Amino acid sequence: MKLFKGTLVISLLISVSSCVSTHYSPAKKYAPPVLQQDFTLLRQVLERKHPALYWYTSKDSMNAYFDTYYHSIKDSMTETEFAWQVLAPLTSKIRCGHTSVSFSKNYVKWARHKKFPSFPLFAKVWNDTLAVIGNLNKKDTVFKRGTLIKAINGVPGKELIAHVFNYLPQDGYADNVNYIRLSNNLPYYHRNIYGLSKNYEVDYIDSLGNLSHTKVKLFEPVIDSAKKVKTPVKKEKIKKQKKPARENEYRSFKIDSSKQYALLTVNTFAKGRLRSFFRASFKTLREQNIPNLVIDLRSNGGGRIGLSTLLSKYISRVPFRVSDSVYSPVKNLYPYTKYFSGHVINNIEMFFISKKQADGKYHLGYLERKMYKPKSNNHYNGKVYIITGGLTFSAAALLCNDLKGQPGITLVGEETGGGWYGNSGILIPDVKLPHTGLRVRMPLYKLIQYQHSRVPQRGMGIMPDIYIAPNYDAIIHGKDKKIEVIRNLIFTK
């Protein structure tokens, strides 16, 4: 979650520093001493600046993990090998959803628009189940939508899922977000964690319900080596076209033909001109007297706290706060300032927005004290159903916590990815490792949710009032089970 919007200064610094060397090669190997230097720097930064390093993992255990992965650097590695074999499993042990590893900007630019060889099957993943939802090998007639995968290369589905989760970040033990990550791109994670096979041994349930076994070929993208001939175009005939508005990618509002409910979809609190969008949507709800509102936050990974709080104010029946406590262990980024993205702005913000208190930590007193009142203009008083899922994270989880349990408001769906007790964020710069260029995203403040004492178990996501698990039949037929359940609730009253 982010409290402050980036400035033009940050954008200029990023654009200047993102120039890619024409000599970049992803196959470049880094010697162990070089990798160990990057690793040691990261350890020092995490130990001195991370606000929640020992929240879910004890200091003794984290020290053991640091030592284990440091000593695992015995041979030269490429950037991707260092990221996946060392840094990703290390940072996952912190159990902080905002602490994650990303490739260097050089690698990202090199990889853009490229297709890579991989395991060919996409699958919807939940619990210990993998159901095929896509196949890169178009001529394959065995693995159709809904086919259940039981094992890949001798690794049972349940074991495979648990192993991959050891490389992915999450808040506490709210692992629902990682089921969705794996569902979105099983080939990507399988390639980077298990490596490639010319043929994959796959156990599956056939059309007769029997356990069967077959070999699946590696997906290898066809490379078109033909040279494209560019047709000369006169410059004077080229006219600049305005880019189409992309707001609908971030949010949408639709009133059902029955006039019994409206669907408000908000996929982020970072983009989409949300202030004017909320204002217009809730004005329409009032003018048309729509009795039910469905808010879909299943794909909302968070963004600006101010925008999630604004949406809460349109719905909340009672005054609320964003948090009970927000603090950082440090006042600034020194002596590691130069390794942080946007370090000038972050240092300034940390200096002015936080103040040291008796516990020795630097608190954001404003967020700890500020009580937000429900809006009086265009406030929505009808029944509200909020759809949640594993990707409901960060600022979206704050909204769910504020509204859960209020009269007339019902959370429907699955456990959120964002922690119910709290999570870390506010300012979330990247730490750039000087030799490999790898980036580690790191929050600077720890946030304890408002009314956190009511949370039954620390480390879980926010639980819905009506739980709707992934449904095999809905997956097969492309149905939205959660919307169906809500429609039934609305129309059977």
For residue 425, give the CATH number of its domain: 3.90.226.10
In a domain, 58, yes or no: no
Looking at the structure, tell me whether residues 367 and 464 fall in a common domain.
yes
Looking at the structure, tell me whether residues 133 and 267 fall in a common domain.
no
How many structural domains comprise the chain? 2
Domain at 165, CATH number: 2.30.42.10
Interval 467-486: pLDDT, tens: 999 999 999 888 999 999 99
Residues 6+ apart with CB under 8 A from 426: 1, 2, 3, 305, 326, 364, 443, 444, 445, 447
Looking at the structure, tell me whether residues 154 and 289 fall in a common domain.
no
In a domain, 24, yes or no: no
In a domain, 163, yes or no: yes
pLDDT for 245 equals: 54
Interval 423-463: pLDDT, tens: 999 999 999 999 999 999 999 999 999 999 999 888 999 99
Looking at the structure, tell me whether residues 331 and 203 fall in a common domain.
no
pLDDT band at 10 (very low <50, low <70, confident <90, very high): very low
Looking at the structure, tell me whether residues 146 and 187 fall in a common domain.
yes
pLDDT for 239 equals: 45
Looking at the structure, tell me whether residues 206 and 262 fall in a common domain.
no
Q: Which of 352, 448, 434, 431 is nearest to 48 (CA)?
A: 431
**pLDDT of 237 above 70:** no
pLDDT for 27 equals: 94
Looking at the structure, tell me whether residues 364 and 467 fall in a common domain.
yes
Which ranges in 78-196 belong to alpha helices (H)? 79-82, 88-92, 105-111, 157-165, 176-184, 186-194
* Strand arrangement of the beta sheet that strand 362-363 belongs to: 355-356, 362-363, 323-328, 445-449, 422-425
pLDDT for 15 equals: 42
**pLDDT of 240 above 50:** no
In a domain, 359, yes or no: yes
Looking at the structure, tell me whether residues 314 and 425 fall in a common domain.
yes
In a domain, 114, yes or no: no
pLDDT for 13 equals: 37
Q: What residues make up the domain containing 212?
A: 121-217
Looking at the structure, tell me whether residues 368 and 486 fall in a common domain.
yes
pLDDT for 456 equals: 85
pLDDT band at 493 (very low <50, low <70, confident <90, very high): low
**pLDDT of 16 above 80:** no
pLDDT for 22 equals: 58
Interval 20-70: pLDDT, tens: 455 889 999 999 999 999 999 999 999 999 999 999 999 999 999 999 999
In a domain, 192, yes or no: yes
In a domain, 112, yes or no: no
Interval 275-315: pLDDT, tens: 999 999 999 999 999 999 999 999 999 999 999 999 999 99
Looking at the structure, tell me whether residues 251 and 291 fall in a common domain.
yes
Looking at the structure, tell me whether residues 166 and 275 fall in a common domain.
no
Looking at the structure, tell me whether residues 314 and 209 fall in a common domain.
no
Q: Does the predicted TM-score (pTM) go above 0.85?
A: yes
For residues 303 and 12, the answer to whether their CB atoms sit within 8 Å is: no
In a domain, 116, yes or no: no
